[in-house]
Structure 1
Amino acid sequence: MKILVVGANGAVGSAVVEALAERHEVLSAGRQHGDWRVDITSDASVEALFAAVGPLDAIVSAAGNLFFGPLASMRPADFNVGLQDKLLGQVRLALLGQHVLRDGGSITLTTGIVAEEPIRQGANATAVNSAVEGFVRAAATELPRGLRINAVSPTVLTESLPSYGSFFPGFESVPAARAALGYVRSVEGSQTGRVYCVWQ
């Protein structure tokens, strides 16, 4: 398969590339790193990416920024960070990407454990991840040509504990390589409309 991984340079994305590259042709994209550059907050940038890479069998998104901060001081502009980036950015990849997928192709988006297990200072993350999961379930009912869409929801990554561990007291982390298995399952499997939780 010819697979595009967006956000391929991050902890999850690099593990996904490593897991899939053993058996498939994997193209990497990101804001600053990868085979291709893309800004997922821009229609024009995403459309240019898909025009350049041509027909695909799978699109994987391991991209998207969120805002973490206290609710008491959060401003609408802060909350909008996650809406425009991780939510609409990934939705944009799906909406525009469906048209470059071959029949039977798949889309895999990324959410996170806070969709089900809220944390302090994570209101934006919970709202955005929950919305991504809702989009996946609904989109799966409409995609034509045997196209599939799923999401992977990891808990906090072991590799990310130095940066984000303080937000997740008492949470058990998982290594990025384990999280990557959820993406392999989505790309190489047969299910659609699923959220694969990598913490259970």
Structure 2
Amino acid sequence: MKVLVIGATGNIGRVAASALEEQGHEVVRASRSSDPSVDLADTASIAALFASLDALDAVVVAAGEVPFKPVTELTREDYADAFAVKTLGQLDVVRHAFEHLRDGGSVTLTSGVLSREPIATASAAAAANGAIESFVTTAATEAPRGIRLNVVSPDVLENSPHHHATFPGHRPVSDAEVARAFVRAVDGVGTGRTISV
């Protein structure tokens, strides 16, 4: 299969792309700094990426930034920024993927543990992640041409030790665990699922 991985230079995207290559898939890696490039905050950039590629079998999105601040300090602009990139950017990818994927293809988005477990300063991230998961639950029922739609929701990553102190008491997840979740989403048969890691 030909799989587009958006955010392939990040910690999650890199793991997902490598795992899918190990399964024998042809992986196209895209990010803001790669060729092909894409910026999830720019809908024209997303459209241009899909227009530049031949027919795809699957799309994985592992990108999106959100602000971390105490809830009393978050502004409307902070929430808008979180939704513009993490949520709306991924949803925009889904819209374009539905037009470009082969019949029976799949789209896998990425949320995170903050939709189900609170930590300090993570309200904007929790809202963005929760929106993605709720969207997938419903949108999967309407996806055209047998296309499957899922989301992977990892806990803090072992490969990101600089974040561990922010997640007290959490068990960091390994690259292998994250990899299995993305392989399951792409190669499995489930749809409308949040795969928690």
- Could you state the TM-score of these two structures normalised by the residue count of structure 2? 0.97
Structure 2 partner of 1:134? 134
Q: Are the aligned partners of 1:107 and 1:150 in contact in 2 as well (CA < 8 Å)?
A: yes
Q: Could you say what the CA RMSD is over the residues aligned between the two structures, in angstroms?
A: 0.9
Structure 2 partner of 1:28? 29
2-structure distance, mates of 1:73, 1:133: 25
The 5 Å alignment of 1:74-113 reads 74-113=74-113
Structure 2 partner of 1:184? 183
Q: State the number of aligned residues.
A: 196
4+ residue stretches of structure 1 with deviation over 4 A?
none
Q: Are the aligned partners of 1:6 and 1:29 in contact in 2 as well (CA < 8 Å)?
A: yes
Once the 2 structures are TM-superposed, how far is the Cα of residue 68 of structure 1 from its aligned partner? 0.5
Q: Are the aligned partners of 2:152 and 2:182 in contact in 1 as well (CA < 8 Å)?
A: yes
- CA deviations on 1:62-81 (whole Å, 9 max, x unpaired) are 01111111112211111222
Paired amino acid for 1:69: K
The unaligned stretches of length 5 or more in structure 2 are none
Q: Are the aligned partners of 1:7 and 1:13 in contact in 2 as well (CA < 8 Å)?
A: yes
Paired amino acid for 1:143: A
Aligned partner of residue 59 in structure 2, secondary structure = strand
- CA deviations on 1:129-176 (whole Å, 9 max, x unpaired) are 0000011011101011110000000000011121x2222011110122
1-structure distance, mates of 2:111, 2:82: 12
- CA deviations on 1:157-198 (whole Å, 9 max, x unpaired) are 011121x22220111101223212111000000010000000
- Could you state the TM-score of these two structures normalised by the residue count of structure 1? 0.95
1-structure distance, mates of 2:171, 2:69: 22
2-structure distance, mates of 1:161, 1:79: 26
Residue 40, structure 1, aligned to residue 40, structure 2: yes
Paired amino acid for 1:28: R
Once the 2 structures are TM-superposed, how far is the Cα of residue 118 of structure 1 from its aligned partner? 1.4
Once the 2 structures are TM-superposed, how far is the Cα of residue 50 of structure 1 from its aligned partner? 0.3
1-structure distance, mates of 2:3, 2:160: 25
